[in-house]
Chain A
C-alpha cells in the first residue's frame, strides 16, 4: 500500500464549478498535511497546510482533514482555467520525519 495515495486523474471540471481533490494516507499518526500545486515544467507551490481535523479556508481553497478516516481533501471553488495543474498531497508523519508526497492529481478546468 502506498503511503500517500491520490487519483492520478485527469479530473475535468467546468469553469466556475467546484473541484474536489482527495488524498488518503496510511499512517494514523500523521500530523502535518500539505497541498501543493505544480504547473507543467515548474516546481511545486505550497497552497495550503492543515494540522487539525476540520476545514481550513483560504480564498477559493478549502482544505479538509479527517484523521479518523485518514483522508485529506482540497476543494477549489469557482474553478478557473488557471487552476489547471497537478495537485500534490504531502504528509509528514511526525515533527521529525520526512514529508511524503502522493503522485498527484492532474486537474483540467474546461472553459
Chain B
C-alpha cells in the first residue's frame, strides 16, 4: 500500500509570493492533517480535514489555508509568504479523526 505522498519535496519562493502544497493520503484514509516543523518551534498543528470539512485548526494566521477534495487529497496554501514561513511542512493521514496518523516525507519550503 502506498504511503502518504507530498509534492513538491522542495520549494524556494520569494517573500510576498504564495505557495500551494499537495498531499495524497494513504488509500482509504479520510482524515488529513497538516503540520509545520521548525527547529525552534517543533511540530506545530495547522489544520485537520475529514470528509472535505475542516475539523480542527491551529493557531496560525489566516494566510495559511487548506482544503480537502472528495478523493481525500488535500492542499494547503500560504499567501503573502514571509521569511519565517520557511519550514518543513508535513502532511499526515489517518483512517478517521482520532486514529493513528502516518506522515508523508514533507515539503521543505524556503522563503528568500
Give the chain B neighbours of A34 by CB distance below 8 A.
100-101
Q: How many residue pairs at the A-B interface have CB separations less than 8 Å? A: 47
- Bitwise interface map of B from 56 to 75 toward A, beta carbon under 8 Å scored 1, else 0: 10100000000000000000
Q: Specify the chain A residue showing the minimal Cβ separation from B50.
A: A96
Q: Are B98 and A44 in contact (CB under 8 A)?
A: no
B interface size (C-beta, 8 A): 20
Q: Which of A17-25, A52-60, A72-80, A98-106 contacts B (4 or more CB under 8 A)?
A: A98-106
Report the interface size class on chain A. Answer: 20 to 34
Most central of B45, B58, B103 by chain A CB within 10 Å: B103
- What are 23 residue pairs bridging A and B, where the CB atoms are less than 8 Å apart in the complex? A43-B90, A43-B103, A43-B104, A44-B43, A44-B90, A44-B103, A45-B103, A46-B101, A46-B103, A49-B100, A92-B98, A95-B97, A95-B98, A96-B55, A96-B97, A96-B98, A98-B33, A98-B56, A98-B58, A100-B45, A101-B42, A101-B45, A103-B42
